[in-house]
Structure 1
Amino acid sequence: MVSSCLAASPNLLLPRQISFPAPNSDPSLPTKPTISSPSHLQQLHALLIKSGSPISSLPFSHIAATCALSSPAAFSYARRLFQRSADSPEIFLWNSHLNTLSSSSSPNDALRLFARLLSSDLLPDTFSCSFALKACSQLPDAILAGKAVHALIFKLGFDPDVFLNNTVVHMYSSHGAVSDARLMFDKMSSRDAVSYNIMIARLTKEGEMELAREMFDLMPERSVRSWTSLIAGYVQWKNPREAVRLFLQMETAGMKPNEVTAVAILSACADLGALDLGKRVHDYARRFQFMKNVRVCNTLVDMYIKCGCVETARKVFDEMSERTVVSWSAMIGGHAIHGQGEDALELFEDMRNAGIRPNPITFVGLLHACSHMGLLEEGRRFFKLMSTDYSIEPEIEHYGCMVDLLSRAGLLDEALGFIRRMPIKPNGVVWGALLGGARVHKRIDVGQEALRQLIHLDPLNDGYFVVLSNIYADAGRFEDAARVRRLMRDKGVKKTPGRSTIAVDGALHEFVAGESDHPRIEEIYKKWDELLVELRGRGYAPDTSVVLLDMEEREKETVLYRHSEKLAVVFGLIGTPPGTTIRIMKNLRVCDDCHSALKLISVVAKREIVVRDRNRFHCFREGLCSCRDYW
């Protein structure tokens, strides 16, 4: 029995006493009384009989709300009143309350009422079943109850109803039963845009992007929600390029993005560094009043930060009418990774004065800021403040920041002791921070210990081998540097090719180290050769120690000259007007040689160059870098 299945569901058990919100009075019947309890209803009924007033004077929606889950006697009493006096079919009155309960904070109340209606032999209609399915969709363990309602729909012959079938598909989808949802979808005799949207939303959530795209392409008619679901799915599953392509197709199709679309495409722009498109979405958000949406603003702040426009991000932040802890944390972290530690710490004080309680991400930003500014004691204070003032247990990211802070300050032995006392197992980021400090302070022993740990934690990360090899080379221990290279080769560690992207005239251009099929590559090489003459005149000498390949020095120099960020910067010089800021996104850490070259290029070309590498931002201006030459 459907009713017994609903009643037996363990998550549908409720306390005996059920409180209902006071029903709103019906504006069309302002003189009708409000009913507070079944006994109150009986008193009002008696009063009507005594005064000779018609029973239709009673507010029937209040009767349903009051008696729906009260005692069986009160429920039967309400039914008799409905059957004698209501103008509308009785099920309509119960459906009204079913709808209210299915959208409430206790959707299991809707299923209890649905079960009671079935037990009383009251025949449900399509709306009754849809409200019951809606309740099942919101309860974590109600899929069996949902299947029972689905079976009842077939029994009652409601299955041709597309709205009801959509609700069934949504019920299965909300429980992650993708195969059941797809089976129901395939069996539907007719489908609308909602049918497809439900499936696309679930498939994207599960990462089934090929199936989601296939279903999207089959849609006879697409809504904004259809486009947005797929775009958001591509962003979620790390394919921002496809998200951008789809968004441009959406614009071509004449569809207007909504606030959810804006959040999704701005996230894609942040991942790609697609500043021009991000600015265009920002303009659109202003025109259509999206800037009142805090999620849109937060994503805009994040986009500008990740595109290297921290000043613009701060302007958006300052103009926000509402800020959440996400807003503050994003801006604090943005100042930190851009080398603006003082601004990050000042903003934290503003955050506290505004009464906003920081979260773990806030402290990651603060510790980053202290690390890049060398504020050792401030960093220690923030690390302690997390647990003492805010009861935030430090996570692996916070420990990594502290190791980075100590290592930058040259306290490598203290950093090593800190790692060994950590209550959680250190990961590659923690040991990598120690290795970076060992490189800066030329501590071979610490570098060796860090690499020993990293070989086990992240054996295929070529960057760690490169750093230790450089430590040996800086110390003049070239045989040891060669040994690291052999170890790298023996373990099958292949150097990840560097990839850099730059946006010019709204189009993204990608360069790969050592190779390129870019249509203007010969022009880029020629410009580099011209630039190299000026760089050498200003003291540039290629640092071939970063090339972990057995080859002649001149060949190593050629490899250095073909690093992806150099190619991207040169393309920026020939592809943009003089004085334009060049913005590069790189998948790896910037090497020492490129870092030195880009500082000089910023002087020779009179350009500001912003590079986002795997760890942070580098803003090259007038021969200096915002990272203060440690990254």
Structure 2
Amino acid sequence: MSTRLFNRFHLSIFSSLNSATSSLSCTRQAHAHILKTGIFSDTCLSTKLLTLYANHQSFADAILILDSFPERDLLSFSTLINALSKFNRFSSVLRVFARMLSDGILPDCFLLPAAAKACAGIGAVDAGLQLHGLISVSGHASNSVVRSSLFHMYVKCDKLSYAHKLLDEMPEPDMVTLSALIAGYARNGCLDKAKRLFYEMGNLGLKPNVVSWKGMIAGFNQSGLYSEAVDVFREMHLGGFQPDGGCVSSVLAALGDLEGINVGVQIHDYVIKQGLALDEWVVSALIDMYGKCARMSEMCMVFDEIGYMEIGSCNALITGLSRNGLVEKALAMFSQIRNQEMGLNIVSWTSMIACCTQNGRDIEALELFREMQLTGVKANAVTIPCLLPACGNIAALMHGKSAHCFSIRRVIICDVYVGSALVDMYAKCGKIRESRLCFDAMPTKNLVSWNTIVHGYAMHGKAKEAMEMLDLMQKSGQKPNSISFTSVLSACSQKGLTGEGWYYFGIMSNEHGIEPKMEHYACMVTLLSRAGKIREAYFMIKKMPFEPDACVWGALLCSCRVHNDVKLAEVAAKKLFELEPRNPGNYILLSNIYSSNGMWDGVDRVRDLMMEKDLKKNPGCSWIEIKNKVYMLLAGDKSHPQASQIIEKLDALSLEMKRLGFIRRTDFVLQDVEAHDKEQILSGHSEKLAVVFGLLSTPPRTPLRIIKNLRICGDCHAVIKFISKCEDREILVRDTNRFHHFINGECSCGDFW
């Protein structure tokens, strides 16, 4: 090719790489032409290509271009890093930045803020501290933009002492900087520091403005200091400042959490007087506040007074309906929004998914998530933690894994709430090893994360691991709370570790200042009962410093079932009937105890009492996931397509049990009928149906995971133990109390649950 022709070709390619008009397809075509002609060594052309790939978010291609540079320079790295930062790909920013440093290229003052933004974006405090050190030695610490980016990075990462030190080094801190630190202190519950800095503004020649007040109100609200947020709002108003829509929205959120309906109504009046009733944020906050205060008529009135459908207020209404258990109305509102083609956003979908998850409509939550993806709405770091509990509730492991992969692809896996939700989902799906792997991979962990993994081990009866995690929690600097001790005491109770249980019960108050609550006493009652000290458990209840609730008496009644202590069961049941007169589970449990002892008069009395109160036993149902689809089986349900095959297989297993000398637990039938009839009744229990359906629907030796909405009965427990040995299957059943891990004829619970 002649030089003249080459130059013309070069100009043609360069003009085709116009960032304003070049599509990703055109960019790739130009890239191919460049490779064919061998002009890739042109640094200007390569940088242009890298920029286009980055702008189209085709970062894999952009990195390949960068790799092909014979000599990479600051410009090429800056182009890629700034593009990654623009699209919030913060983890990738830090990886490319580290690679640049390893190539011996130092950043300039224009690139350093992007790195600080990335550290703030994923809470990478250690990387931020290293970046600060690099800035100090490279001579850029005096640059105001670089210093400001470091300051805001520390504020967002809640390293406020470092931020305050930088503030002290600033020659003339401005209002934005001071307001950011004040809001940071407020957000972390540092009441005195926030107020002290707020009132020191005058010494620096600055006067508080609406932004400063707003930062304090919003910060205290976010940190759970709701009363303080309301006090600051009141002080602002009395000081002559006129709160704007942002201040009003924040204080309404705080009042909702306080259920301060009286002050909320006054704020509503203020909103009308100040002409803020047309502010979309304020209207949404009003709807949310009334929803939290369970004032449905006022909530709907505010929505109706808008006069038009607006997505923010619709989302708030859906959330309010959900919070008050009005799922059908929430679904109807969501359907109405869809029909009017208002443009559902991520908040709309997330609110509806959360509504279904929180109200036991787990399969519908999974369906909604699938529909959301089909419409092109991308889930975020709020959606995934709302969806994952639905996966855990019904052991929809494959759906949970899909959400996990989605989180990785969308680069939200580093979010602490997404990570915690994944830890919980895997634990509830019976995959405690995967749960721990997710926990260990989390870049940052909070109290929720630690409590989730401790609770996961407790659910699986792994007391040793639960205690080890509690110890690691404290070594990491995280202080345990009452939930932490509930989980570890529960783990001890499931293994009958009396000494360890008493130890943790003691240090909870003596070393950590946490006074035992109802749930802690309930765990100790279960622990003592498991160790055969049921009378000691009863005396502990009598000596409690407050009146025992249904949680404590329920723990004693469950233990009476295991030990067949009828007299103590009657004492516990009497208390439960007073505390929870409408809970059918307590009546059923006492009836079980009577029937297991052949006391049919007692069974009849309980049945008559239930009829008198018009109480019915909650129908048993179990869930099992087969080939990415979740199936629900109801007790005694003969409408299942494979019902005849399931019953036939159950009958064959029952005959094999008898042949080998296994005894069915027919004492769990509440009717005084013949043994054969009792076996027929027990064969209809949903967990048995789910296990046999799994046997018929999966290859040999495939593990089965079943979720049961009620406590597993003794006969089902015995039968599933037999099936695990006879069919050489690992079977995991999660009931309302714990996990039962059946392997080779044995259960992890040790036959105590």
Same fold (TM over 0.5): yes
Structural mapping, 1:63-74, within 5 Å:
none
SS in 1 for 2:385: helix
Which residue pairs with 2:311 in the alignment?
Answer: 193
CA gap 1:627/1:131 in 2 versus in 1, 3 angstroms: closer
2:529 and 2:735 map into 1 onto residues whose CA distance is 20
1:396 and 1:326 map into 2 onto residues whose CA distance is 21
1:109 and 1:459 map into 2 onto residues whose CA distance is 44
Which residue pairs with 1:170 in the alignment?
Answer: 284
Alignment check: 8 A CA contact 1:337 1:617 kept: yes
Which residue pairs with 1:352 in the alignment?
Answer: 474
Higher relative contact order, chain-length normalized (CA < 8 Å, sep 6+):
1
Q: Which amino acid aligns with 1:102?
A: K
2:663 and 2:403 map into 1 onto residues whose CA distance is 43
Q: CA deviation at 1:211?
A: 3.7
Which residue pairs with 1:15 in the alignment?
Answer: none
Which residue pairs with 1:488 in the alignment?
Answer: 606
- Find the partner of 1:598 among 720, 726, 736: 720
Alignment check: 8 A CA contact 2:704 2:730 kept: yes
Alignment check: 8 A CA contact 1:275 1:304 kept: yes
Q: CA deviation at 1:209?
A: 3.5
Structural mapping, 1:574-589, within 5 Å:
574-589=696-711
Q: CA deviation at 1:145?
A: 5.0
SS in 2 for 1:259: coil
- Find the partner of 2:210 among 93, 98, 101: 98
Which residue pairs with 2:579 in the alignment?
Answer: 457
Q: Is structure 2 residue 551 aligned with structure 1 residue 429?
A: yes
Give a deviation string over 1:384-419, Cα, whole Å, max 9, x none.
111101111111111111111111111122111111
1:443 and 1:136 map into 2 onto residues whose CA distance is 54
Percent of aligned pairs with the same amino acid: 37
Structural mapping, 1:399-548, within 5 Å:
399-459=521-581, 464=586, 478=598, 481-491=599-609, 492=611, 494-548=616-670
Which residue pairs with 2:398 in the alignment?
Answer: 276
Q: Which amino acid aligns with 2:629?
A: A
Structural mapping, 1:20-419, within 5 Å:
97-105=209-217, 108=233, 112=237, 130-131=245-246, 133-134=248-249, 137=252, 140=255, 141=263, 144-145=266-267, 147-153=269-275, 164-176=278-290, 182-183=300-301, 185-188=303-306, 191-219=309-337, 220-419=342-541
2:583 and 2:685 map into 1 onto residues whose CA distance is 18
Q: CA deviation at 1:570?
A: 0.4
Q: Which runs of 5+ in 2 are unaligned?
A: 1-142, 147-170, 176-200, 218-228, 256-262
2:238 and 2:545 map into 1 onto residues whose CA distance is 51
Alignment check: 8 A CA contact 1:232 1:243 kept: yes
1:112 and 1:246 map into 2 onto residues whose CA distance is 43
2:241 and 2:374 map into 1 onto residues whose CA distance is 52
Q: Which amino acid aligns with 1:212?
A: A
Give a deviation string over 1:457-514, Cα, whole Å, max 9, x none.
345655555655665666xx53xx1112111222126443321111112222222222
1:586 and 1:596 map into 2 onto residues whose CA distance is 16
Alignment check: 8 A CA contact 1:499 1:587 kept: yes
Q: Which amino acid aligns with 1:332?
A: V
Q: Which amino acid aligns with 2:336?
A: L
Q: Is structure 2 residue 732 aligned with structure 1 residue 613?
A: no
Say which is worse superposed, 447-456 or 230-239, in terms of deviation.
447-456
CA gap 1:386/1:566 in 2 versus in 1, 3 angstroms: same
Alignment check: 8 A CA contact 2:731 2:742 kept: yes
Give the number of equivalent residue pairs: 530
Say which is worse superposed, 133-142 or 284-293, in terms of deviation.
133-142
Q: Which amino acid aligns with 1:435?
A: L
CA gap 1:185/1:579 in 2 versus in 1, 3 angstroms: same
Alignment check: 8 A CA contact 1:465 1:485 kept: no
Q: CA deviation at 1:266?
A: 0.5
1:183 and 1:494 map into 2 onto residues whose CA distance is 37
TM normalised by structure 2 equals 0.64
Q: CA deviation at 1:437?
A: 3.1
CA gap 1:194/1:329 in 2 versus in 1, 3 angstroms: closer
Alignment check: 8 A CA contact 2:595 2:670 kept: no
1:322 and 1:223 map into 2 onto residues whose CA distance is 29
2:547 and 2:289 map into 1 onto residues whose CA distance is 35
Give a deviation string over 1:501-552, Cα, whole Å, max 9, x none.
1111222222222223211111211222233333333322322211111322
CA gap 1:143/1:26 in 2 versus in 1, 3 angstroms: farther
1:258 and 1:331 map into 2 onto residues whose CA distance is 23
SS in 2 for 1:291: coil
Q: Which amino acid aligns with 2:572?
A: A
Say which is worse superposed, 132-141 or 580-589, in terms of deviation.
132-141
Q: Which amino acid aligns with 2:332?
A: E
Give a deviation string over 1:126-180, Cα, whole Å, max 9, x none.
xx954564466466436535534533439xxxx8xxxx53134134225427656
CA gap 1:315/1:178 in 2 versus in 1, 3 angstroms: same
2:556 and 2:254 map into 1 onto residues whose CA distance is 47
CA gap 1:195/1:26 in 2 versus in 1, 3 angstroms: farther
Alignment check: 8 A CA contact 2:492 2:500 kept: yes
